[in-house]
Structure 1
Amino acid sequence: MSSARDFRIAISDADIKGLQAKLRNARLHEPLEGVGWEYGMHSQVMKDFVEYWANDFDWGKQERYLNSYKQFTMDCGEIDLHFVHERSPDPAAIPLVLLHGWPCNFTDFHKMIRPLTQPAEVGGTQQSFHVVVPSLPGFAFSGQPKRPGYGPQQMGEAVNTLMLKLGYDRYVAQGGDFGGMVAYVLGALHFEHCAAVHSNITICLPSFANPWTMLQMANASLPIARKYPLFLSAEDIKGLDGLSTYVKEESGYAEIQKTKPDTLGYALNDSPAGLLAWIIEKMWRWVDGELEACISKDELLTNISLFWFTQSITSSMRLYREAIGPQSTAMPDILKHRCKAPTAIAVFPKEIWTYPKSWVAKQYNLKRWTIMPAGGHFAALEKPELLMDDMRAFFAENH
């Protein structure tokens, strides 16, 4: 820890008041008659969130809570990483890095840090962990990449450097969304240090047509699950139907972010109302149930506030262009390398998509496949207990 620098979040009163003023002066359009979420962000939900964020949301309370966790920054090659580092008092604790995705931040894992580091304090006797939660490059308080081409592989290298510099020569990793991609990089290219991987998203090439990329497959002219029924079980078809629906109905945001993120970034970096609509609409779509029943309004606005205060929305969206953009070979290049580290996949029913287990087993060193009873894309916020139980069971035997 000699090269780690202590860090505390300290957003100025001027920045908080500036945000509130912009929200109070936001120009919100009127919806079409009888329209809810069909055209995008629901107008009444939008008004409620803007009013709450401007007048009732207590950033100071959230900042004090986040600062109750030990935070640091560290030089990790091209990037200074911001991270939470909480050590367990248990001498048998396993080093664990938790990796968030988009449109999220390190706060995704706030419900899990203390139960994982000190299970006895929350009434548990389960496996304990030394927990490291970095902000991925381009997110929150981590440095923003300064050159094109900084994608999941480079993020994996930075995270591996962080863990080694913290003294963890062997560690395990968990991630979803882009965090799952970074965890894949750790298990594929840094498996001599990353002993095991747990993921709540699957990334792979089709086992019957390896030259295809994930997005080429997703854009097939016929729904994938119907085009190849002989290869698929009912569970496989359900997961791939989700991918087909995602491509047809939910991927417009990704098309913009993987092609022209900076153009959109100017709007979202200048308008907190626009930023809120862009993020909340996707989160509403991807949870398992009513949004605020799954993730509280304060949790949602803490996440969005971090993008606003750190001006990191544009740098976070650039990850799409670097990973899956029209000229990028990042994901196909990464997927040429099998994830050699023992891997567990937790399949939540409202995940955007789930590839067939037989495909995943060819891409990963698959040791565990758990079908969860409930939960969506944001498992660490929606169903932290289910996620932690599966992680503990797997990592206790694979570390």
Structure 2
Amino acid sequence: MKDFVDYWANKFDWRKQEKYLNSFKQYRMDCGNIDLHFVHERSKDPAAIPLVLLHGWPCNFTDFHKMIHPLAMPVEQDGKQQSFHVVVPSMPGFAFSGQPKRPGYGPKQMGEAVNNLMLKLGYNRYVAQGGDFGGMVAYVLGALHPEHCAAVHSNITVCLPSMTNPWTMLQMANASLPMAKKYPVFLSADDIKGLEGLNVYMKEESGYAEIQKTKPDTIGYALNDSPAGLLAWIIEKMWRWVDGELEACISRDELLTSISLFWFTQSITSSMRLYREAIGPHSTAMPDILKHRCTAPTAIAVFPKEIWTYPKSWCAKQYNLKRWTIMPAGGHFAALEKPELLMADMRAFFATYH
């Protein structure tokens, strides 16, 4: 931490990063229920596929910086030219987007704002990709707006059975049992690995979430008052959830650029409120959303160090699942860690479903 704080204060070149971020075409638009800031890079190919990329927490639109220009460039895919009109919003409450001013603004409302954005940009049919809460918003688009969202690609899984399924509760309660006795026999090794990740997450990694889904404003005052505290709160999650040594996966400047955006825009508190809205103790937002199946054709990319992955059989009931890819490497922040793997899987899927 001392090393990171010293680098941020004395060596980090924000003006260089600012110039780089300004190389992307950026706008801000009223999207019905909130103003959204977004990057919009149009392909030179008029037949390009409209694509919206959705980030989660503790991230910003900068997560996708390695992917924006490559996705907009035409390449050959399955014997045809393929490219994308790329839209990357700052999610409501993050960076330069508007901050919700009253309770009741969760993933469903975010999905409505993103859908409105794509329609206002002239994209009546588009595809969506997301991870973390961005994956949940992508689910909303595929479940509640399938007339516009033609296909969904996600590197996180959300399932209604996981919230009430007795197997989930059983494996958490019997964590000390031998593996063979802990899970139903028909679950695959990959299914069990994903549920084990959930076990570790619940026992060792969820302290931040318990605070953010119950008292986000309380911790928000502290983090918005101390840059060192803000850095510690975010960097620890990044450190724990990547596949390998942190700075071998994500550069120090990439990490600090995103954290600087939280600091300069004072958006840490508004970003954390999403937890209370989506999964807070009195919230029904996610169960209500997940009652609706994601009928848009869906691809799931499973990265080995993702914090959890629900069994494929559960996901096949929750999504119109068309593709399930086990990735060779990568963690929770796939767009930063393994952008080439993520883009290759997206290209292969969207070539068929768009």
TM-score, shorter chain, exceeding 0.5: yes
User: Are 1:256 and 2:232 counterparts?
Assistant: no
Deviation at 1:90, TM superposition (A): 1.0
Cα contact 1:196–1:341 (8 A) shared by 2? yes
Q: For 2:8 and 2:55, locate their aligned partners in 1 and report how far apart those are by CA, in whole Å.
A: 23
Equivalenced residue count is 348
Cα contact 2:171–2:183 (8 A) shared by 1? no
SS of corresponding position for 1:229: coil
Q: What is the aligned counterpart of 1:212 among 164, 169, 172?
A: 164
The answer for the alignment partner of 1:16 in structure 2 is none
The answer for the alignment partner of 2:230 in structure 1 is 275
Cα contact 1:213–1:332 (8 A) shared by 2? no
Q: What is the aligned counterpart of 2:315 among 348, 353, 360?
A: 360
Cα contact 2:170–2:182 (8 A) shared by 1? no
Cα contact 1:126–1:392 (8 A) shared by 2? no
The answer for the alignment partner of 2:174 in structure 1 is 222
Cα contact 2:55–2:63 (8 A) shared by 1? yes
Q: For 2:282 and 2:186, locate their aligned partners in 1 and report how far apart those are by CA, in whole Å.
A: 31
SS of corresponding position for 1:142: coil
The Cα RMSD (Å) is 1.9
The answer for the alignment partner of 1:158 in structure 2 is 113
The answer for the alignment partner of 2:282 in structure 1 is 327
Cα contact 1:107–1:303 (8 A) shared by 2? yes
The answer for the alignment partner of 2:270 in structure 1 is 315
Q: For 2:15 and 2:163, locate their aligned partners in 1 and report how far apart those are by CA, in whole Å.
A: 51
Structure 2 gaps of 5+ residues are none
Q: For 1:344 and 1:77, locate their aligned partners in 2 and report how far apart those are by CA, in whole Å.
A: 29
Letter of the structure 2 residue corresponding to residue 73 of structure 1: R
Instruction: Give runs of aligned pairs for residues 127-166 of structure 1, distance below 5 A.
Output: 127-166=82-121
What does the per-residue CA deviation read over 1:150-208, in whole Å, with 9 as the maximum and x for residues that have no partner?
Answer: 000000000000000000000000000000000000000000000000000001023xx
User: Are 1:189 and 2:141 counterparts?
Assistant: no
The answer for the alignment partner of 1:383 in structure 2 is 338
Letter of the structure 1 residue corresponding to residue 174 of structure 2: L
The answer for the alignment partner of 2:250 in structure 1 is 295
What does the per-residue CA deviation read over 1:51-79, in whole Å, with 9 as the maximum and x for residues that have no partner?
Answer: 00000001000011000000000001121
Cα contact 2:171–2:182 (8 A) shared by 1? no
Instruction: Give runs of aligned pairs for residues 5-20 of structure 1, distance below 5 A.
Output: none
Letter of the structure 2 residue corresponding to residue 366 of structure 1: L
What does the per-residue CA deviation read over 1:219-241, in whole Å, with 9 as the maximum and x for residues that have no partner?
Answer: 94234975432241111111100
SS of corresponding position for 2:164: coil
Cα contact 1:70–1:85 (8 A) shared by 2? yes
Structure index of larger Rg: 1
Q: For 1:211 and 1:323, locate their aligned partners in 2 and report how far apart those are by CA, in whole Å.
A: 13
The answer for the alignment partner of 2:325 in structure 1 is 370
Q: For 2:126 and 2:133, locate their aligned partners in 1 and report how far apart those are by CA, in whole Å.
A: 19
Q: What is the aligned counterpart of 2:8 among 43, 53, 73?
A: 53
Q: For 1:155 and 1:387, locate their aligned partners in 2 and report how far apart those are by CA, in whole Å.
A: 23
Cα contact 2:45–2:74 (8 A) shared by 1? no
What does the per-residue CA deviation read over 1:135-155, in whole Å, with 9 as the maximum and x for residues that have no partner?
Answer: 000000000001101000000
Letter of the structure 1 residue corresponding to residue 112 of structure 2: E
Instruction: Give runs of aligned pairs for residues 19-58 of structure 1, distance below 5 A.
Output: 46-58=1-13
Deviation at 1:119, TM superposition (A): 4.2
The answer for the alignment partner of 1:105 in structure 2 is 60
Change (3 A) 1:164 1:92: same
Q: What is the aligned-residue identity percentage? A: 86
- Which has the higher relative contact order, 1 or 2, with Cα contacts under 8 A spaced 6 or more apart? 2
The answer for the alignment partner of 1:38 in structure 2 is none
Q: For 1:283 and 1:290, locate their aligned partners in 2 and report how far apart those are by CA, in whole Å.
A: 10
The answer for the alignment partner of 1:42 in structure 2 is none
The answer for the alignment partner of 1:89 in structure 2 is 44
What does the per-residue CA deviation read over 1:300-323, in whole Å, with 9 as the maximum and x for residues that have no partner?
Answer: 000000000000000000000000
Cα contact 2:183–2:192 (8 A) shared by 1? no
